[in-house]
């Protein structure tokens, strides 16, 4: 393993679309959503430790989840970067970039979410290693673009140019980043062959990111530059608690990636899903002959004339469905959700209404 390779796993999100299983107190990255026996963050960590020295794997999370990360991964608290407040991805990535650059000026870093599904781990690791090698030898920002299997309105898209790297022809210059499109535009993107899904996985040298921050997000860069003498010392937390809340709430896409003219994409296909909704879990799970998905097992569920339903309830609860089609049935934390699959994007509003009706502890 290369001692200058690092991984930053982002694990600060709440995952409200997986309510009622995912709550503010226990978000989806800390849950075994697919019934595999491991939580999403455990699976992500296990993948990266195969190619990254374990002492070089850092977790970015909210301060309230620091102990939970330690409990699930068993890593040192020095490898857990806790944000005092939520400020989107640009501030936390800027913070981590300054921290790791202070630790190792020659660091090349892969940044990835903690809650994605990767079906072909071997291919994923090969692509990550290739991207790390390319980024280490070129002063550029790299992102992974998923080859789309269908038009999808749930993902942002990356438009690729015809220009590629001479030494690494697999990497193409990014022409533009596109917001989540409507279905007509998504079909147009996929048909053109020049668009990829934006997976939110990035690879670059820390010093390259610091240069980009200085150029495109100078206020953010200057804020974290003030803490240069404190990173990786006992004074780091005090500095972060004082200054982090003043960061702009902005994503890394808006702050850097869409502005930089130095972004390349590696088209990949390793069986990826961002597991953003219950429908994504349904599509990736074992279905019976009627299209039903039962998580974690079928012993406590009886189905009569029902199809294309997903049931996820505790094993000690008994469920009987009759004449139910295209429904999600989920119970957790003393809460039952029954929702048509095609209405699940409205779950965020349901959560907000439940908080008003039943109390804030329900979110």
**What single string gives the DSSP state of each residue in 294-356?**
EES-STTEEEES-BS-EEE--TTS-EEEES-BSEEEEEETTEEEEEEGGGGGGHHHHHHHHHH
* Tokens found for residue 341: 């699959």
CA angle at residue 294 from 313 to 121, to 5 degrees?
110
pLDDT band at 44 (very low <50, low <70, confident <90, very high): very high
Whether pLDDT at 354 is above 80: no
Q: Kindly report, residue by residue over 94-138, the tens digit of the pLDDT.
A: 999 999 999 999 999 999 999 898 989 999 999 999 999 999 999
How much is the pLDDT for 344?
63
pLDDT band at 363 (very low <50, low <70, confident <90, very high): low
**Could you give the CA distance from residue 329 to residue 221 in angstroms, rounded to a whole number?**
46
Residue 88, Cβ neighbours under 10 Å: how many?
17
In total, the chain counts a number of residues equal to 363
- What strands, in cross-sheet order, belong to the sheet with 327-332? 293-295, 310-312, 327-332, 335-340
CB of 170 closer than 8 Å to CB of 266: yes
Q: Which of 28, 10, 9 is nearest to 281 (CA)?
A: 28
Helices (H), 8-59: 40-48
**pTM recorded for the entire structure:** 0.88
CB of 21 closer than 8 Å to CB of 333: yes
Beta bridge partners of 109: 6, 204
Helix and strand tally (H, E) in the chain? 11, 17
Q: Which helix (H) or strand (E) holds 284?
A: helix 278-284
pLDDT band at 263 (very low <50, low <70, confident <90, very high): very high
Give first-to-last CA distance, the chain, whole Å: 41
Q: Kindly report, residue by residue over 171-201, the tens digit of the pLDDT.
A: 999 999 999 889 999 999 999 999 999 999 9
Q: Which of 65, 43, 34, 48 is nearest to 5 (CA)?
A: 48
């Amino acid at each position: 393993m290369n001692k200058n390779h690092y991984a930053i796993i982002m694990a600060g999100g709440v995952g409200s679309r997986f309510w009622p299983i995912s709550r503010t107190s226990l978000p989806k990255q800390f849950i075994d959503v697919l019934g595999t026996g491991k939580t999403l963050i455990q699976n992500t960590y296990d993948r990266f430790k195969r190619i990254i020295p374990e002492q070089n794997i850092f977790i970015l999370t909210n301060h309230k989840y620091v102990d939970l990360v330690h409990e699930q991964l068993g890593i040192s608290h020095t490898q857990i970067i806790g944000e005092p407040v939520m400020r989107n991805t640009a501030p936390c990535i800027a913070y981590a970039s300054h921290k790791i650059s202070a630790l190792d000026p020659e660091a090349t870093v892969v940044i990835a979410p903690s809650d994605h599904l990767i079906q072909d781990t071997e291919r994923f690791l090969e692509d990550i290693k290739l991207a790390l090698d390319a980024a280490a030898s070129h002063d550029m920002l790299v992102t992974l673009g998923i080859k789309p299997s269908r038009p999808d309105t749930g993902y942002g898209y990356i438009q690729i140019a015809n220009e590629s790297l001479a030494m690494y022809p697999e990497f193409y210059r990014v022409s533009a980043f596109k917001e989540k499109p409507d279905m007509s535009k998504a079909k147009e993107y996929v048909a053109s062959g020049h668009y990829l899904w934006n997976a939110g996985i990035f690879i670059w040298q820390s010093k390259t990111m610091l240069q980009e921050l200085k150029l495109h997000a100078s206020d953010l860069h200057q804020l974290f530059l003030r803490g240069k003498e404190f990173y990786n010392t006992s004074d780091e937390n005090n500095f972060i608690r004082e200054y982090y809340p003043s960061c702009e709430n902005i994503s890394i896409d808006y702050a850097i990636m869409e502005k930089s003219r130095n972004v390349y994409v590696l088209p990949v296909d390793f069986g990826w899903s961002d597991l953003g909704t219950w429908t994504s879990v349904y599509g990736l799970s074992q279905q019976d002959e009627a299209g039903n998905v039962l998580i974690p097992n079928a012993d406590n569920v009886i189905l009569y004339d029902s199809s294309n339903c997903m049931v996820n309830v505790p094993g000690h609860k008994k469920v009987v469905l009759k004449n139910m089609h295209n429904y999600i049935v989920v119970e957790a934390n003393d809460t039952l959700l029954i929702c048509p699959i095609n209405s699940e994007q409205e779950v965020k509003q349901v959560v907000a209404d439940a908080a008003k009706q039943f109390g804030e502890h329900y979110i």
